[in-house]
Structure 1
Amino acid sequence: MHILITGGTGFIGQAFINTHHEDYNFTVLTRNVSNAKKTFSHISTSNIKFISQLEELPSAIHIDAVINLAGSPIMDKMWSDKHKHILESSRWEITQQLADFIATKTITPEVFISGSAIGVYGRQGSETIDETHGRHYPEYSSHLCEHWEEIARTACPNTRTAILRTGIVLGKNNGALQKMELPFRLGLGGPIGKGDQYMSWIHIDDMVAAIHYLIQHKTCSGTFNLTSPNPVTNREFSDKLAASFNNKARITTPKLLLRLLLGERADIIIYGQRVLPTRLLDSGFVFHFETLERALSAIYTDE
């Protein structure tokens, strides 16, 4: 199988390639080929090719699957109008290019896996929601993801398409935990406000396994929530993360302070969604890390 992947040097993309580099051939679309090669210098790259634009694909190449994970990190900078344009173009433009390549049969993959996020739902309080939930709260994260998904769906008439509504991805030394870990290690971590907002999370290994599952199972198409079956409140998450370092989650961060530090981005943390992966479970997928305790234990097992 030959897989074309965008966002291959990101957290999820790296994990997928590292897991399956001996199983498949990869073509990695990246803005910086030199850096991408360095990223994967620890593994054999004899079956991994790197390109900086889709036009570099050989005309006779056969692509079995496309995994589209490209997108500038959403929490790294203030959401100025300029940065919102970067967030949008980094997601929408490459997705449009891929959809166009599929529509014109420049590439004819059997499956198109395209990224999104549970931010598409917007703030939802404590209501339990799944893929059937259509009342999206109108805020920026929802707008960003809704249009991202709309573009990806234009590939549907030509190839099986699965859209990944990804939650908070947990893994060692990367993703959300990389930013959260230090204060909790020092005993300075704790909930945001009352901590009653929900956090819908997924272990990186389950994330990789779910993508692979959707590639392999030809009856799977449409939108899928990639989150654990057991979302937790921010208070519970804080308590369990602190306990991983034999600490208590004693210090509460006021919402106002978070707004001052993060601006509009703070809404993603202050408000949450209680998301369930109903369609993934109904299709037969089995999570290895169903509970937060098990996920954190695996991540920090060598502590």
Structure 2
Amino acid sequence: MPLCHVSVAGGSMAAMRIAITGSAGLIGTALVGSLRAGRPDQPSDGAGTGTGTGGHEIVRLVRHAPRAADEVRWDPKRQTVDAAGLAGCDAVVHLAGAGVGDHRWTDAYKREIRDSRVLGTAALAEAIAALDTPPRVFVCGSAIGFYGDTGDRRTDESAPPGDDFLARVCVDWEEAAAPAVEAGIRTVFARTGLVVGRQGGAWGRLFPVFKLGLGGRLGSGDQYWSFISLHDHIAALRHLIDTDGLSGPVNLTAPEPVTNREVTAAMGRVLHRPTPFPVPAPALRLALGEFADNVLASQRIIPQRLLDSGYTFTHPTADEAIRAAVGG
């Protein structure tokens, strides 16, 4: 299903000026395209300029000197933001951060993972809090890594944080948004699960392997994976922007997490490929280092607050999410 056909529970949003960080990433590119398209029935190439007929005005925060009228300079490492470029924004969506699985976890890269999130969030929260007319909503990216390894326990937003590296990063990440919260800006923490998409992210790396018939379960395969289709993720972000009663943490995951073994079977069914090659846990640890522990961890996360707020999933099952990603 094309990403431009996004429906939002409770109706479509009135035209707004929306600032977005991380607009060049998998999720950011899709979100920009969807918002610029405006109404759910309008087409979009996902990366056009301007607002589009009936669409929203997008401001993209970039780290280089602005090269287009919709770009505003910021530097998350130096904690600087061209606040003047955010004037008049109704909403700010913060998606920027170093890829968790992009590099082996050296001490230096772990600092990069943390600093890219915490410093950038603090700079942005302080900048919007200081505006004469702050945005009405700040949607700040976070992750289900907040909960750590939850085993087979169904876990919603009321659960406490875990105690591993990613959990501590998520805690610091969300706390860095305090200036926005204290300024009275409705602040939502989008705790994202594994996004099922072909063009990037962790799942994007699985598709080529499975298409070659080389896919298989990881470790025991009994660990729960809390996934969400790219389409639903974009629709859910729009729902967070538009739903005035939502603030605080909201899990962005499909309603029924499945085990890695079930994911493997679903990939095989949808792609019509065998899945004969399990990857033992020791081999994962050798290849990925400390990050392997997160791949092998089990997270059975439930999007309780999203469901309670009236959001309806387009792709609630793993098979549907995978089919959507491959264009089915």
TM-score, normalisation: structure 2: 0.84
- The partner residue of 1:5 within 6, 17, 20 is 20
- Which consecutive residues of structure 1, in runs of 5 or more, have no partner in the other structure? 38-44
Checking the alignment, whether the CA contact within 8 Å between 1:27 and 1:50 is kept in structure 2 is yes
Residue matched to 1:27: 59
Q: Quote the Cα distance in structure 2 between the aligned partners of 1:76 and 1:85.
A: 14
Instruction: Describe the shift of the 1:282–1:187 C-alpha distance in structure 2 as closer, same or farther (beyond 3 A).
Output: same
Q: Distance in 2 between matches of 1:59 and 1:29?
A: 9
Deviations along 1:33-57, one digit per CA (max 9) or x if unpaired, are 57xx7xxxxxxx87x3343455434
Partner-residue secondary structure (3-state), 2:271: coil
Tell me how many residue pairs correspond in the alignment.
291
Higher helix share: 1
Residue aligning to 2:124: 98
Deviation sequence 1:154-180 (CA, Å, 0-9, x none): 421320010010000012322223211
Q: Does 1:194 align with 2:220?
A: yes
Q: What residue in structure 2 maps to residue 147 of structure 1? A: 172
Distance 1:137 1:12 in 2: 25
Which letter maps to 1:92? V
**Residue 9 to residue 33, structure 1, CA distance change in 2 (3 Å):** farther
CA distance in 1, matches of 2:283, 2:92: 41
Any conservation in 2 of the 1:153–1:161 contact (CA below 8 Å)? Answer: no
Rounded to whole Å, the distance in 2 between the matches of 1:203 and 1:262 is 25
Maintained 8 Å contact 1:27/1:51: no
Amino acid in the other structure paired with 1:5: I
Following TM superposition, by how much is the alpha carbon of 1:208 offset from its aligned partner in structure 2, in angstroms?
Answer: 0.8
Structure 2 counterpart of 1:25, one-letter code: E
User: 1:156 maps to which residue?
Assistant: 181
Which among 57, 65, 84 is matched to residue 110 of structure 2? 84
TM-score (norm. length: structure 1)? 0.91
Residue 225 of structure 1 corresponds to 251
Structure 2: stretches of 5+ with no match in the other structure:
1-15, 37-51
2:163 to 138, 142, 162: 138
Mapped pair 1:51 → 2:73:
yes
Judge conservation of contact 2:83–2:127 (CA < 8 Å) in 1: no
Q: Does the 8 Å CA contact 1:12/1:208 hold for their aligned counterparts?
A: yes
Contact 1:101 1:107 in 2 (8 A): no
CA RMSD in angstroms comes to 1.8
Instruction: Please point out which of 264, 277, 284 is paired with 2:303.
Output: 277
CA contact (8 A) 1:185 1:247 kept: yes
